[in-house]
Amino acid sequence: MLDLLKFDGAPVVITGAASGIGLSCCELFTDLGAKIVAVDSDPTFGLSQHGTALGLDWPERYYSIDVSQESEVRQLAKEVFSDFGEIASLVNIAGVGSTSSLEKMDLAHWNRIMQTNVTSMFLMVREFLPMMRENTGSVVNMSSTYAFASRSNKAAYSASKGAIVSLTKAAAIEASRKGIRVNAVCPGPVMTPRRVDAGADGVDDLEKAARRTLQGRMALPGEIANLIAFLASRAASYITGSAVIIDGGQLSHIGEVT
Ligand SMILES: NC(=O)c1ccc[n+]([C@@H]2O[C@H](COP(=O)([O-])OP(=O)(O)OC[C@H]3O[C@@H](n4cnc5c(N)ncnc54)[C@H](O)[C@@H]3O)[C@@H](O)[C@H]2O)c1
């Protein structure tokens, strides 16, 4: 089993690599022996303290693009294929939050959330599937518990995360012809810099988020990375088309935890 978790120098593409869950994935996959191909819209990451520690200060290991733009994803796939050849795993984490009531939400906001969270995954899967390793390759897409249960002002975010679960299942069918697995992960609240900042600004109530779980706390990014690495690895060889919930029990109950 432990050997199946190792990537033995195989290339793994990770989007949203510069922060939060994506950054934790970069660290864990590196520990598991993968050759990280990091992708993020933040242009400074490759040369940052984290990026340098991960060996991403080589230009061909870090690609700064907007994954919601078709031409940029096409170009990325071409360059990655020419630099690395076959890809072992694709981990699609890049995404953004959204807080707006349906009544006040303008179409531009809705379109931006769908484009960033869902269209990006369609583009990445479409461009990278043809260059993935047959029979052992795998894709992991970032969804959320918001795919299954929502709250006020979360319509766009929930719709985008629900669409990712459906896209994942449909992609798993098509990828199965080449023996490639496709799964989604659905975390509850995770203590990432984005949420810490939102908590400090009073936009996000982190204590309430923690209380909604059975464990009374938010997840650490590394706990989500553990699941992602398992699903991406050969150890998860019989898991495909699944949306795996990792939420400290958040979805297992109705109402407040007493
Ligand atoms: N933090 C949580 O509580 C939580 C819970 C469930 C799911 N998620 C999902 O996990 C993912 C990561 O969340 P996080 O909290 O680590 O966020 P984060 O903001 O810390 O990291 C997201 C990264 O994605 C990058 N990114 C955003 N849009 C991009 C684009 N168009 N092109 C390229 N890169 C882009 C950002 O630059 C950033 O580095 C998101 O998809 C989010 O919806 C987060």
157 is annotated as an active-site residue? yes
pLDDT tens digits along 18-61: 999 999 999 999 999 999 999 999 999 888 899 999 988 776 78
Does residue 104 form part of some domain? yes
Whichever domain contains 158, its CATH number is 3.40.50.720
Does residue 231 form part of some domain? yes
* Other Cβ atoms within 10 Å of 58 Cβ, number: 10
Does residue 254 form part of some domain? no
Can you give the pTM of this predicted structure?
0.97
What's the number of domains the chain is made of?
Answer: 1
**Nearest one of 198, 218, 220 to 209, comparing CA atoms:** 218
Length of the chain in terms of residues written: 258
pLDDT band of 144, cuts 50, 70, 90: very high
Tell me the chain's radius of gyration from C-alpha atoms: 18
Ligand 1 pocket residue status of 142, Cβ below 6 Å: yes
DSSP β-ladder status, 181-187 and 62-64: unpaired
**Tokens of residue 36, six digits:** 């990280």
**pLDDT exceeds 90 at position 226:** yes
Does residue 207 form part of some domain? yes
Gap between the Cα atoms of 242 and 4, Å rounded: 20
Does residue 127 form part of some domain? yes
Q: Residues 210, 189: contact at Cβ < 8 Å?
A: yes
Does residue 77 form part of some domain? yes
pLDDT tens digits along 72-130: 999 999 999 999 999 999 999 999 999 999 999 999 999 999 999 999 999 999 999 99
Does residue 122 form part of some domain? yes
Gap between the Cα atoms of 32 and 207, Å rounded: 33
- As a whole number of angstroms, the longest Cα–Cα distance in the chain is 56
Ligand 1 pocket residue status of 226, Cβ below 6 Å: no
Range of the domain at 107: 2-248
Query: From the CA of 88, how far away is ligand 1's center (Å)?
Result: 22
Does residue 253 form part of some domain? no
